[in-house]
């Protein structure tokens, strides 16, 4: 069954996602990120702005054919539709609702800021996961 983990109280959702993605890349975990196009574009810009020592190989899932297949497992995939990601190991959700096909991933990480609207949307996603019988881990991010 898919592992669900909420990371609460992050100061910047995309900044925190960059941190998670650097860690996943170092560990060799195939990972995708889903959310609205504008937020994924912001994340894309932030990933390109990382220093050379922190670089995270990433691409849009729609461009999967442009990435050599030998590099697929080590690439972070930006996927407005989570099901379009070439690997279904880990998924970071930056969207406001539970992503379609989340249950095809081994692990889902929900990133929640301190914004009241974001927290309200997270409560709804929590209800979706809990209502379907998934155990949920909660992680409070230190300030």
Indicate which CATH number applies to the domain containing 107. 3.40.50.10110
Residue among 91, 98, 75, 80 nearest 38 (CA): 80
Q: How many domains does the structure of the chain reveal?
A: 1
Domain residues for the domain of 56 are 3-140
101-117 as b/e: b if 16+ CB within 10 A = ebeebebbbbbbbeeee
Give the C-alpha separation, 129 to 135, whole Å: 8
Question: Which pLDDT does position 142 carry in this prediction?
Answer: 77
| Whole-structure pTM value | 0.95
Question: Which pLDDT does position 143 carry in this prediction?
Answer: 60
Mean pLDDT per 10-residue section of the chain, whose length is 143 residues: 97 96 93 97 96 93 94 94 95 98 98 97 98 97 77
């Amino acid at each position: 069954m898919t592992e669900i983990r909420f990371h609460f109280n992050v100061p910047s959702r995309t900044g925190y996602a960059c941190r998670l993605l650097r860690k996943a890349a170092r560990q060799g975990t195939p990972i995708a990120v889903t959310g609205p196009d504008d937020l994924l574009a912001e994340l894309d810009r932030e990933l390109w702005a990382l220093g050379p020592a922190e670089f995270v190989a990433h691409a849009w899932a729609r461009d999967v054919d442009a990435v050599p297949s030998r590099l697929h497992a080590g690439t972070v995939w930006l996927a407005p539709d989570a099901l379009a990601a070439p690997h279904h190991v880990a998924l970071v959700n930056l969207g406001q609702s539970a992503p379609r096909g989340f249950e095809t991933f081994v692990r889902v990480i929900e990133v929640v800021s301190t914004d009241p609207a974001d927290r309200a949307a997270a409560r709804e996603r929590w209800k979706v996961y809990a209502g379907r019988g998934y155990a949920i881990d909660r992680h409070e991010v230190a300030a």
